Amino acid sequence: MRKGLLDILKGKFLVSGDAPKNWMFILFASFLAALMIASAHSADAKVHKIAFLSEEVKELRSQFLDGRSNLQELKLESSIVEEVKKRDLYPSETPPKKIRVIPVK
């Protein structure tokens, strides 16, 4: 067993008679390792992008809610009256009258 371990440490299995088979396995294992590393990096990049997009969605949702609440406030009759008073316009004192059209038979 000691001789086999020394042969591996010295690298004799790479120059022996069946070395091409060993080299092919080493190249295959290296390819798989590189593929696994690339896959892990790709997954990490996707996780970071998802986290960034989630934060962006939260920010945009917050902006939307702020805008919607501002719009509702601006739609109130009291705010409209204040804005119109700045232009010297006032609401009518007399209520509007409904006009009915009776169809002719």
| Encoded amino acid at 105, one letter | K
Reported residue count of the chain is: 105
pLDDT, tens digit (0-9, with 9 covering 90-100), for 16-36: 777 777 788 889 999 999 999
pLDDT, tens digit (0-9, with 9 covering 90-100), for 70-104: 999 999 988 888 888 888 888 888 988 999 999 98
Predicted local confidence at residue 71, as pLDDT: 95
pTM above 0.75, yes or no: no
Distances (CA, A) of 94 to 80, 87, 89, 91: 18, 20, 15, 9
Predicted local confidence at residue 16, as pLDDT: 75
Helix (H, G, I), strand (E, B) or coil at 12: helix
Predicted local confidence at residue 38, as pLDDT: 97
Round the average pLDDT of the chain to a whole number and report it. 89
Retrieve residue 68's tokens.
């919607």
